[in-house]
Amino acid sequence: MKRIVQCSILAAAVAATSAAAGAANAQAGGYGGPSGKAAPAGYSGPSDVPLMSAKELLEKGKDDQYARLRGKLVSHKGGEDYEFADQSGRMTVEIDAKHFPAGVKIDQNTMVELTGEFDKDLVGESTLEVKQIRVVGN
């Protein structure tokens, strides 16, 4: 019985150490632009969603449609809100920290491709809820 308890304590210690190391590694990537706050990393991959401009999405986008934007995250507005800019204009995008690519630092000079669901508000600011970020250059 004593051995089982010792093994259980050892397994708990290993799990706690692994969780702490994972959290530290997750903090290595993310957004590191003007807010100065790093966001944890996430998944990135290809998309078949048509590429649009911020202006086109804001003017012609339909609520809940999936859209893809290419440009830069020029600032962190707080929480999950970032200001996105491309050649056509600017808009707010919502990015959960888990969607940032693992181990990749993204700042205001990094060209990214965002894929997500458009939230068209009749009153207030329309946003893109980002589901995927892919770095396409600096």
Name which of 86, 79, 70, 1 is nearest 35 in CA terms: 79
Domain boundaries of the chain, sorted by first residue:
3-137
How far, in Å, CA of 12 to CA of 116, rounded? 38
pLDDT tens digit string along 68-123? 999 999 999 999 999 999 999 999 999 999 999 889 999 999 999 999 999 999 88
pLDDT category, 34, cuts 50, 70, 90? low
Query: Closest by alpha carbon to 130, among 102, 106, 99?
Result: 99
pLDDT of 60:
94
Domain 3-137 in CATH 2.40.50.200? The answer is: yes
